Amino acid sequence: MPLREKELIAGLRRMAASKPRRGIATGIGDDCAVLQIPSGHEALITTDFSLEGVHFRCDWHPPESIGHRCLARGLSDIAAMGGEPIAFFLSLALPRALPQFWVNRFMRGMLKLAEKHRATLAGGDTAESPGGILADIVVVGSVPKGKAILRSGARPGDGIYISGQLGGSAAAVQRMQAGPDRKLSGKKLPGKKLETRLYPDHFYPEPRIKLGKILREKRLATAMIDTSDGLSTDLAHICEESGVGAELEATLIPRSSVGNPSRAVELELALHGGEDYELLFTAPKGKRIPAQIAGTPITQIGRITDQKAIYLKVENGLRPLKARGWEHFRN
Ligand SMILES: [Mg+2]
């Protein structure tokens, strides 16, 4: 059955209405959503495209994972500011031939993550796509006035820290690119159970909302960004905005083990592989940073310098570190 817009909207509305409505004065069904920003807070707004063939592939990603990752990107941006999500808006352009059950599974993945982080689907739009699937997400969050953690606050001498492990998401992409062509006929959408289980960092990344909030509340971080483009690129953003340089230590960078401690991913993937959605932050020299916050390991991987360039300390000295984040699925 081809998708019909009215039914699609009704379906989305049904799914959205059953979820918590904190912060929503008026949700889907009026010309605009009316949101309640807690008093003494400022609104955070972020927007992210998810395009078939660029950010996901239907022969690689189960619909639940696509929905999850789509929202995770926006939630991760809210986390990177030290904020908390309130609502999100979803605009979907779908090919006419796409089965309704794909949309249901996509929404299930998205709403499960939304519920976990108490974010309400408060509106959106739908259209028929002449080509692939396109999902555009807007996430609205809040942060106490003047307390958002910006990219511009890093100072020479600050330590550089990363949450979790890096490279796991890129390792999954590498694995799928290397694997046999598993493209299935349009009839049965692939479950890809094996890979989703082995590579949770890629299929179901966990936005670090709680960690970001604690870093903000305890005033631990001077600057912060989420690692959506890859460590080398995201650190360059902090350095650029702060007008500083950095020195990383190769041996300190926590590399994802993708389910097997004896086979950590290559350093290159940890440095440049994107879509890990960890938090990269700086903290003043001498500030005690716990080894674990909100259940997530925190590792110091280097320090901020006044040199206006980024270097990587390896066995035989320093080498310049170029920003070259992971290029999605371009082959
Ligand atoms: Mg970001």
Helix (H), strand (E) at residue 87: strand 84-94
pLDDT at residue 18 tops 80 = no
State how far the Cα of 127 lies from the Cα of 102, in Å rounded to an integer: 16
Residue 20: predicted pLDDT = 55
Question: At 174, phi and psi to the nearest 5?
Answer: -60, -45
Return d(Cα 262, Cα 265) in angstroms, integer. 10
Q: How far is the CA of 99 from the centre of ligand 1 (A)?
A: 32
Whole-number Å distance, alpha carbon 101 to ligand 1 midpoint, is: 31
Q: Are 76 and 226 in contact (CB under 8 A)?
A: yes
Compute the distance from residue 67 Cα to the ligand 1 centre, in Å. Answer: 18
- Ligand 1 centroid, distance to 226 Cα (angstroms): 5
Compute, in angstroms, the gap from residue 277 CA to the centroid of ligand 1. 8
Ligand 1: distance of its center to the CA of 133 in Å?
A: 22
Distance 237 CA to ligand 1 centre (A): 10
Give distance in angstroms: CA of 186 to centre of ligand 1.
34
CA of 227 from ligand 1 middle (Å) equals 7
Residue 275 Cα to ligand 1 middle (Å):
10
The residue-averaged pLDDT of 29-48 equals 94
| Stated pTM of the model | 0.91
**Ligand 1 centroid distance, CA of 75 (Å):** 9
**How many whole angstroms from 312 Cα to the centroid of ligand 1?**
23
Ligand 1 centre to CA of 46 (Å) is: 9
- What is the pLDDT at residue 71? 98
Separation of CA 1 and ligand 1 centre (Å): 37
What is the distance in A from the centroid of ligand 1 to the CA of 163? 14
Measured in Å, residue 229 CA sits from the centre of ligand 1 at 8
Looking up tokens 């290559």 gives 266
Q: How far is the C-alpha of 230 from the C-alpha of 43, rounded, in Å?
A: 26
Reported as a single tens digit per residue, the pLDDT across 190-214 is 444 556 888 889 999 999 999 999 9
Average pLDDT score over residue span 32-36: 92
Closest to 131 in 3D by CA, of 96, 176, 168: 96
pLDDT tens, 39-90? 999 999 999 999 999 999 998 999 999 999 999 999 999 999 999 999 999 9
